[in-house]
Amino acid sequence: SQQGEEDPQALSIQEGENATMNCSYKTSINNLQWYRQNSGRGLVHLILIRSNEREKHSGRLRVTLDTSKKSSSLLITASRAADTASYFCATAGYSTLTFGKGTMLLVSP
C-alpha cells in the first residue's frame, strides 16, 4: 500500500506558534495532497504538490516534498484557533488517492 503515514498523531500548540506535520509514504507517487477536516465534516483540499516540485506555498501554508526520502511536511505559520482540525496527506498513485490516518491539531487561544 502507498498509504501515507502522518506524524505526529496529535499536536497541541498556542495561537501564533507554527505547526509542522509530516507525512511518509512507501511507493512512488504522481503527486501528494494535503487536506483539512473540521470535526464531523468532510475534507477540504489545501494544497497539491507534484512529484517534480520541492516546495509550494499557499497563504500561511508551506509544503515540502522530498521524493528521495518519500516524505512531505506541512507547515502552518502563525496558527490560529480556527486552524484546529485534523490534517491528512493523500498520495496519488496510478488511479486513486490514498489517505493517511491524519494529524489532529489543537490550537489554543
Partner 1 sequence: DVKVTQSSRYLVKRTGEKVFLECVQDMDHENMFWYRQDPGLGLRLIYFSYDVKMKEKGDIPEGYSVSREKKERFSLILESASTNQTSMYLCASSLWGLKAGDSPLHFGNGTRLTVT
**Contact residues: partner 1, CB under 8 A:** 1, 3, 30-31, 33, 35, 40-45, 48, 88, 90-102
Q: How far are the Cα atoms of 39, 43, 95, 96 from residue 62, in angstroms, in the given order?
A: 23, 19, 26, 24
Please report how close the Cβ of residue 3 comes to partner 1 at its closest, in angstroms: 8
Q: How many CA atoms lie within 13 A of 107 on its CB side?
A: 19
3-state class of 60 per DSSP?
Answer: coil
Residue with smaller CB distance to partner 1, 39 or 68: 39
Please report how close the Cβ of residue 94 comes to partner 1 at its closest, in angstroms: 6
Please report how close the Cβ of residue 105 comes to partner 1 at its closest, in angstroms: 16
